Amino acid sequence: MVTQQLSGLPDEANLRRADSLAREIFSDVANKWALLIIESLGERTLRFSELRTEVEGISHKMLTQNLRMLERNGLVEREVHPTVPPRVDYTLTPPGRALRETVDVMCDWTARHLAHIEESRVRFAERTAP
């Protein structure tokens, strides 16, 4: 992964640190649930329970876990309303929205190549288990 050094002299230790950080972030972000959450949120503000139904198939636990991770990385903002019953809103931050655009591109890619991929799978199956 290419991480440009922007500040001062590109000290080698700094480069290595930035790279391992990049890898870490990439691992956080490049996972199914995180991307689906980001995509579901979009420009909207959703509560926990809304996200729960929006991102279908996700469990209570995975949702909280991923939301924490996204909050930690500054991609979503978590707003707690001290009401009863409690209400917690989630919104993408600017960096989160920027990431979302790349996820959108990935979704477009999926839609555009759906047919080709399905076909490839059939040919692969024929090729391997005739």
DSSP H/E element including 92: strand 87-92
Closest contact distance (angstroms) between CB of 112 and a copy of itself is 8
14 versus 48: smaller Cβ distance to DNA: 48
- Residue from 37, 35, 95, 71 nearest 80 by CA: 71
Cβ contact 1:66 at 8 Å: no
- Residue from 68, 70, 64 nearest 92 by CA: 70
Rule CB under 7 A: choose which of 29, 62, 69, 103 binds DNA. 62
64 binds, among a copy of itself, DNA, none (CB under 5 to 8 A by kind): DNA
Applying CB under 7 A, the span of 10-18, 37-45, 85-93, 109-117 interacting with DNA comes to 85-93
For the four alpha carbons of 3, 10, 97 and 46, in that order, the dihedral sign comes to positive
**Residue 33 binds DNA (CB under 7 A):** yes
45 versus 109: smaller Cβ distance to a copy of itself: 109
Token duo for residue 15: 């480069």
32 versus 112: smaller Cβ distance to DNA: 32
**Residue 17 binds DNA (CB under 7 A):** no
Q: How far apart are CA 23 and CA 10, in angstroms?
A: 18
Residues at the contact surface with DNA, assessed by CB under 7 A: 31-33, 47-50, 52, 57-62, 64, 67-68, 78, 80, 85-88
